[in-house]
Amino acid sequence: MPATPIASVTRYYPKGTLKWYWVPTISNKSAPTRSELNAGTDLSGEVAAYDGWGVTSNFVDAPDVNSRFTSKVPGDIEAEDSSLTMYLDPSGNDARTLMPRDEDGFVVRLGGGDVAGRKMDVFPVTVGSISKPFEMDAVPVAVFQFAITDEPAEDVTIPA
C-alpha cells in the first residue's frame, strides 16, 4: 500500500495579504488576545521591505565510539537578524515615534492576514537600531533592526 499523500494546501501570494503588527504588550506570546492585538499598530501600509524573521536550529555532533558514522541532534534554536524597512515622513511623524531605539515590544507577522483561525508568529523584540540610508533618487526609508530577545511563538492561532 503506498503512503498517504499530504493534503493539498491553498496557495497564495503574500503581497497584499501579509500583515505586520507592532504590539507593545502581550502577556502570553503563545496566546495573544484579540484586545492585545487590537491595542497594537498595523505597520503593513508603511513597510517597504523586510528581512530575516526566520527561526532555525543548529545541529550538534553526537558521535558514537562503536560507529564511524557521526549522527547529529538538534541544538540551540536561533532567530535570524531581522529588520523592517519603513517609509519616512519629512515631519518625523512615522514609525520612529512608535518604535524608538531600545523600545521593547512584539512584532507579530500574520502571513495570511488578520483572519481568526489562521496562523501568526509572535517575536519578542527590542529595537536595536534605526538607520536612515538616504539616497538621491529613492523614497526615504528607515531600517529598523530588531534584537529578538526570546524564543518566538510560531504558528499561533489568530484569535477571533
Digits of tens for pLDDT over the chain (160 positions)? 899 999 999 998 888 899 999 999 999 999 999 999 999 999 999 999 999 999 999 999 999 999 999 999 999 999 999 999 999 999 999 999 999 999 999 999 999 999 999 999 999 999 999 999 888 899 999 999 999 999 999 999 999 9
Placement of cell 503574500 in the chain:
14
Other C-beta atoms lying within 10 Å of the C-beta of residue 151: 14
The confidence score (pLDDT) of residue 14 equals 86
Domain count, the chain: 1
> Do the domain assignments include residue 10?
no
Phi, psi values for residue 49, rounded to 5°: -165, 165
The confidence score (pLDDT) of residue 135 equals 87
> Do the domain assignments include residue 108?
yes
Closest C-alpha to 146, from 119, 117, 124: 124
> Do the domain assignments include residue 14?
no
> Do the domain assignments include residue 7?
no
What are residue 82's DSSP bridge partners?
Answer: 146
- Cα 76 to Cα 85: distance, rounded to the nearest angstrom: 28
The confidence score (pLDDT) of residue 12 equals 86
> Do the domain assignments include residue 64?
no
> Do the domain assignments include residue 4?
no
Number of continuous H segments (helices) and E segments (strands) in the chain? 2, 10
The confidence score (pLDDT) of residue 33 equals 98
> Do the domain assignments include residue 6?
no
> Do the domain assignments include residue 74?
no
Domain that holds residue 35: 19-54+80-157
The confidence score (pLDDT) of residue 1 equals 87
AA identity, residue 26: I
Which are the contacts of 53, defined by CB distance < 8 A and separation ≥ 6? Answer: 79, 80, 82, 107, 109, 121, 123
- Reported pTM: 0.92
Closest C-alpha to 31, from 160, 153, 115: 153
